[in-house]
């Protein structure tokens, strides 16, 4: 019984460590995205880039803490939509991330 408990605890510890590493990787990528926004959009103030970054981090945090799988998936889609918009804006060569700013300005659903 004790060996079974130790094995279960080890699996839980490994899952927690893997989840933490994934979370850190997400945050690192969001930080890189912020730098890309500042570098790519001459008409974008650092404040706008920080707000996009902050909003993305907030979605990530909510997603990570969500216990309900369906709600978590909705947050994943929201984050993916925002990231796709950033990528589209970066490829557009506009002076500001217009698509992303429209998403942020839209009422929450």
Q: Where are the domains of the chain?
A: 2-105
**Binning pLDDT at 50, 70 and 90, where does residue 109 land?**
low
| Residue 107 Cα distances to 66, 78, 103, angstroms | 21, 13, 8
Q: How confident is the model at residue 102 (pLDDT cuts 50, 70, 90)?
A: very high
* 85 — pLDDT class (breaks 50, 70, 90): very high
Q: Taking the model in full, what pTM does it have?
A: 0.82
pLDDT of residue 94: 85
Q: How far apart are CA 75 and CA 9, in angstroms?
A: 29
């Amino acid at each position: 019984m004790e060996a079974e408990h130790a094995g279960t605890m080890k699996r839980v510890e490994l899952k927690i460590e893997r989840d933490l590493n994934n979370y850190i990787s997400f945050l690192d990528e969001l930080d890189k995205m912020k730098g890309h926004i500042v570098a790519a959009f001459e008409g974008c103030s650092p404040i706008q880039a920080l707000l996009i970054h902050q909003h993305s981090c907030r979605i990530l945090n909510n997603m990570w803490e969500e216990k309900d799988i369906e709600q978590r998936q909705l947050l994943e889609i929201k984050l993916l939509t925002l990231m796709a918009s950033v990528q589209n804006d970066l490829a557009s060569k506009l002076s500001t991330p217009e698509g992303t700013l429209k998403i942020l300005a839209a009422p929450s659903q």
